[in-house]
Amino acid sequence: MREAWWISIIKGFVLINVVLGAFAYMTLVERKFMGRMQLRYGPNRAGPYGLLQPIADLVKLIRKESFFPASGVDILYIASPVVAAFTALLAFAVIPFGGGWTIFGHYVAGQMADVPIALILLFALGSLGIYGFIVGGWASNSKYALLGSMRTCAQMVSYEVSLALSVLGVVLMAQSLSLTEIVAKQHATIWFAIPQLLGLLIFFVSGSAETNRAPFDLPEAEQELVAGYHTEYSGMRWGLFQMAEYINLITLSALCVTLFFGGWHGPFLPGPLWFVLKLIPILFVFIWMRTTLPRLRYDQLMRFGWKVLLPLATLNAVVTAFLVVLVD
């Protein structure tokens, strides 16, 4: 069944606002959890229990002076955060969150776009989003931002290889690149997190590096006096970079639910609710890691990606391919 074009427009508008709302309040939840883990309160001044803190942050970013490097490359400097935010939002369009419904005689699909090669499309959009970070650092015409963009490039490109190889076992078991078909295969058999436990662990660690989360947050280096690729950014342009990173984290967690934990399927409750209930624990683990683990050094970070994750991901893919051929 195909849904009407006006339903797609309404659903797209709702989905974008839901993702943006999730990003805004995830920043609050993360700061609250980190506060409790570190024996402090966290945000509690803006509104009851600090619930208006994301709104206060948005107003602050909009009103803050957005300076511009006099020697920067104008178009690329301005376009880089837009590219990073746009690709992050676009990637969520192929994540399925339900099986589809008929409402008042009109069919509503459980995702924005059911693409046969959705997994490849997600990785392609992630690769394009990297250009926003790299070009932003270069266009700032600052040696600090340039060095930050170089280490961003090195990390994200290297861990992207192990991230792609970690899901190869899932593709071989489902025999499809369509996310809806991967979910359907798990519903008919078993969650792929069980036979693909090694792939799940590699996916999770590589995803942490791809989204610049601790202990792989060297591209941001937020505790340092000089941050990284966004050193010369302020105001809402800086906010777009942060929004892109958080939305990439939500998309990665949603992809993890889809590939390894059966997607929206579950007993009794509606599909989207099951999807959210599976998504929350994964996001919590990312917050937990950020609060607990120290940052890796650059040499440790590169060595771990190429010498540990890449061989393990390759081994997992080869063993899975052998078993699939043996069973067939």
Distance CA 184, CA 169 (A): 16
**Predicted confidence (pLDDT) at residue 223 exceeds the cutoff of 70:** no
**Predicted confidence (pLDDT) at residue 328 exceeds the cutoff of 80:** no
> Could you state, in order of their start, the residue ranges of all structural domains in the chain?
69-98+112-327
Mapped onto helix, strand or coil, the DSSP state of residue 61 is: helix
- What are the tens digits of pLDDT across the range 196-213? 999 999 999 999 998 888
**Predicted confidence (pLDDT) at residue 1 exceeds the cutoff of 70:** no
Q: Are 23 and 30 in contact (CB under 8 A)?
A: no
Residue 75 confidence (pLDDT): 92
Distance CA 140, CA 17 (A): 30
**Predicted confidence (pLDDT) at residue 218 exceeds the cutoff of 90:** no
Mapped onto helix, strand or coil, the DSSP state of residue 106 is: strand
Count CB neighbours of 35 within 10 A.
Answer: 16
155 pLDDT tier (thresholds 50, 70, 90): confident
Q: Which of 258, 249, 151 is closest to 196 using CA atoms?
A: 258
Mapped onto helix, strand or coil, the DSSP state of residue 234 is: coil
Alpha helices by DSSP H, the chain: 5-37, 53-63, 74-91, 118-139, 143-166, 168-174, 179-188, 197-210, 235-260, 271-292, 298-304, 310-327
Distance CA 140, CA 76 (A): 9
- Residue 102's DSSP bridge partners are 107
Please tell me the pTM assigned to this model: 0.93
Distance CA 74, CA 310 (A): 38
Count CB neighbours of 322 within 10 A.
Answer: 11
